[in-house]
Amino acid sequence: MNSVTVRNLLVRGMLAGLAAGLLALVVSYFLGEPRVDEAIAFEESHSHEHGGAELVTRTMQSTGGLATGILVYGVAFGGIAALAYCFALGRIGRFGPRASALLLSTAGLIAVYVVPFLKYPANPPAVGDPDTLNQRTVLFFLMVALSVLLAVATVILGKRLAPSLGNWNATLAAGAFFVLVVGLAYAFLPSFNEVPKDFPGTLLWQYRLAALSIQVTLWTAFGLVFGLLAERVLAPKPARTEGKTPEARATPVAH
């Protein structure tokens, strides 16, 4: 793949990331922010400390701050995903541009978010010990790195087993390897149970579902939009010749 094609896909990946970020912003505003407000209200009602004035108001956080964060993240995410697409194209099977984009986004969602999320799920305000914040952050990103590396190793393993086992059996064997190693990581990495006893379980469940919904929206929308844009770069349709029959287009004009 030449540098011009990579550049075109990179730009389109960033545009697709921006579009996906807009959709994720809508989901976040209507599903996530109400849960955050409820968690903050719970935290304030159970806190005996009174801080000073807020540097950034809650209104600004839930509007301008939220939009800036998600849209910037969407553009950066789209660019990185587009580069990964350029590397993976042709190495993950004989799929078209759209199918490859959707397959890559699905695999990315599982490896980058779902697998780490199941071990270290998102927590709303008032949940989590501040003293373990750094440790939890490091472990979450460690889980992300491990999951991505395992996903790459799973693809390589599946391709190497395919000639001897067949595609179906090789896929099952590679998938079993991924699940086994992830399960071992879940078992040996430390866990945290820092939910206050009186914190509403329904609110915690709704918050985590909202966080998952935002990521599903982001990755799915990116896969669909980027697949369409990538197809126009990699498999452009021939120009139409309207008003002419095939014989007329094939017959040269005499002078």
What does each C-alpha distance from 243 to 240, 246, 247 come to in angstroms? Answer: 10, 10, 12
85 within domain boundaries: yes
Containing structural domain, residue 33: 1-43+62-120+200-234
Co-location of 81 and 169 in the same domain: no
DSSP3 helix / strand / coil % (the chain, rounded to 5): 75, 0, 25
Return the ∠ at Cα 148 (arms to 121 and 33), rounded to 5°.
Answer: 30
Mark whether 108 and 216 lie in a shared domain.
yes
Residue 101 is assigned to a structural domain of this protein: yes
Q: 254 vs 79, 215, 251, CA distance in Å? A: 51, 61, 9
Sequential pLDDT tens for the chain (255 residues): 778 899 999 999 999 999 999 999 999 999 999 999 999 998 888 775 555 556 778 888 888 999 999 999 999 999 999 999 998 887 777 788 899 999 999 999 999 999 999 999 999 988 988 889 899 999 999 999 999 999 999 999 999 999 999 989 999 999 999 999 999 999 999 999 889 888 999 999 999 999 999 999 999 999 999 999 999 998 876 654 455 555 555 555 444
If asked whether residues 33 and 106 sit together in one domain, one would say yes
Give yes or no: residues 84 and 146 share one domain.
no
Task: Provide the number of structural domains found in the chain.
Answer: 2
For residues 99 and 216, membership in a common domain is answered with yes
180 and 96 co-located in one domain: no
Q: Please report, for residues 25, 60, 220, the alpha-carbon distance to residue 57 in angstroms, rounded to integers and kept in the order given.
A: 19, 5, 32
Q: What is the Cα–Cα distance from 92 to 106, expressed in whole angstroms?
A: 13
Considering the domain architecture, whether residues 39 and 111 belong to the same structural domain is answered as yes
Same-domain pairing of 81 and 187: no
Same domain, 139 and 173: yes
231 exposed, middle or buried (CB, 10 Å; 0-12, 13-18, 19+)? middle
Do 216 and 109 touch, CB atoms closer than 8 A? yes
Same domain, 30 and 109: yes
Same domain, 36 and 90: yes
Compute how many other C-beta atoms are within 10 angstroms of the C-beta atom of residue 154: 21
